[in-house]
């Protein structure tokens, strides 16, 4: 099988969707050495380093016509590479259904609240047509929660939508932090309105007043994010290198993820795989991922977050069991499993088109 994967998310250095494309392509190449996986985009991107000779990089548009990428360029690139199937890794597949295609729908945030995704107007208009007109042979979500939402919103045939969970990369594991820091809570993820960081700041300030525990915010700031004013104990780290994240997770008093809505919540799983105490919002997708291995709270209940943050400082020993459960729960996920499940979706898409 020859599969072309949309590598456009790799134009960003960080973020959950970039990590998805990077880790999935590496795992597919490793799990299926007899197949070819070609990363393609109409924009310059950095392909992930790989020892696998079957993970290739496409050339991109060769002329002005091919710059109309999803209308014509993808088809031309796939023809040159003799690719049999296209995986649109970020809400899109080719407009010309010449070959089977798989479209990943990460979540429904572009449709639930426009203010959460001010940059997603094109996605809001385009993806419903691609899904509703059947231009995507199969659709992948990351949780059953989002699968159900997508089926209902886009009126999809349930047989054509599969939930394939993500995973934390192997380097996320408990480590001894290389940098000595004062006690801190940690948030990892994009800095954007949907992540509910204003509420977290309110809760943290009460705990900081009592215990002096700092709050570290790690992640890329989206352009619509209004950064908080500097204050004692608050550290906005910005983007953090992948290799530095396990130490941050492992050294935190607790990792807080108060998002209002998620399609999976990958930082929650990364923190759990590092053995961290995780406090997260009780959204359907996060409940599905974390199970009973994290302390799940109402995203809007500031009092509950104050109580949980206080407990993570004052009752650390009594919460040790949660850390053990987190490690056990995280071991259920792997990129190798994600790759195998995704490959089965490719096979199904090919069968449905070829008969």
The answer to whether domain 2-167+334-354 and domain 184-330 are alike in fold is yes
Q: Which fold has domain 184-330?
A: Rossmann fold (3.40.50)
Q: Note the pTM of the prediction, 2 decimals.
A: 0.93
Report the first-to-last Cα separation within the chain, whole angstroms.
Answer: 16
Can you give the pLDDT at residue 118? Answer: 67
Task: For 44-58, give the DSSP string.
Answer: --PPPP-S-TTEEE-
pLDDT (tens digit, 9 = 90+) per residue, 151-206?
A: 999 999 999 999 999 999 999 999 987 777 889 999 999 999 999 999 999 999 99
Can you give the pLDDT at residue 181? Answer: 83
Can you give the pLDDT at residue 122? Answer: 78
Residue 5's beta-bridge partner residues? 39, 87
Distances (CA, A) of 143 to 148, 262, 266: 9, 10, 11
| 93 pLDDT more than 70 | yes
CATH number for 2-167+334-354: choose from 3.90.230.10, 3.40.50.2000, 3.40.50.261, 3.40.640.10: 3.40.50.2000
pLDDT (tens digit, 9 = 90+) per residue, 287-313?
A: 999 999 999 999 999 999 999 999 999
| 317 pLDDT more than 80 | no
Closest CA to 131 of 149, 108, 105, 154: 154
The percent of residues in the chain predicted with pLDDT above 90, rounded, is: 82
Pairwise CA distance, residues 186 & 129, whole Å: 39
Domain-wise residue ranges, the chain: 2-167+334-354, 184-330
| 42 pLDDT more than 80 | yes
pLDDT (tens digit, 9 = 90+) per residue, 325-349?
A: 999 999 999 999 999 999 999 999 9
């Amino acid at each position: 099988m020859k599969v072309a994967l949309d590598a456009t998310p790799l134009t960003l250095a960080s973020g959950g969707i970039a990590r998805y494309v990077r880790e999935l392509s590496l795992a597919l190449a490793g799990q299926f050495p007899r197949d070819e996986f070609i990363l393609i985009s109409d924009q310059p991107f950095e392909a992930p380093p790989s020892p696998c000779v079957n993970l290739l990089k496409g050339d991109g548009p060769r002329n002005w016509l091919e710059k109309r990428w999803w209308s014509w360029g993808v088809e031309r690139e796939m023809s040159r590479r003799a690719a049999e199937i296209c995986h649109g890794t970020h809400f899109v597949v080719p407009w010309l259904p010449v070959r089977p295609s798989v479209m990943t729908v990460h979540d429904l945030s572009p449709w639930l609240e426009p203010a959460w995704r001010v940059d997603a107007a094109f996605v809001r208009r385009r993806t419903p047509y691609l899904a509703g007109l059947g231009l995507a042979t199969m659709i992948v979500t990351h949780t059953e929660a989002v699968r159900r939402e997508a089926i209902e919103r886009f009126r999809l045939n349930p047989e054509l939508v599969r939930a394939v969970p993500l995973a934390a990369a192997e380097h996320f594991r408990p480590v001894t932090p290389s940098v000595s820091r004062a006690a801190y809570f940690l948030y990892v993820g994009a800095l954007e309105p949907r992540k509910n960081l204003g509420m977290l700041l309110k809760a943290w300030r009460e705990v900081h007043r009592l215990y002096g525990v700092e709050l570290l915010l790690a992640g890329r700031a989206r352009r619509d994010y209004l950064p908080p004013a500097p204050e004692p104990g608050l550290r906005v780290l910005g983007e953090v290198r992948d290799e530095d994240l396990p130490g941050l997770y492992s050294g935190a008093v607790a990792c807080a993820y108060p998002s209002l809505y998620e399609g999976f919540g990958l930082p929650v799983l990364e923190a759990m795989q590092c053995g961290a105490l995780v406090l997260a919002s009780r959204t359907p997708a996060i409940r599905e991922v974390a199970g009973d291995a994290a302390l799940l709270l109402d995203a809007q209940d500031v009092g509950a977050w104050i109580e949980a943050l206080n407990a993570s400082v004052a009752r650390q020993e009594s919460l040790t069991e949660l850390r053990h459960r987190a490690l056990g729960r995280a071991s259920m996920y792997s990129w190798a499993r994600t790759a195998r499940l995704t490959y089965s979706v490719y096979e199904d898409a090919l069968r449905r088109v070829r008969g």
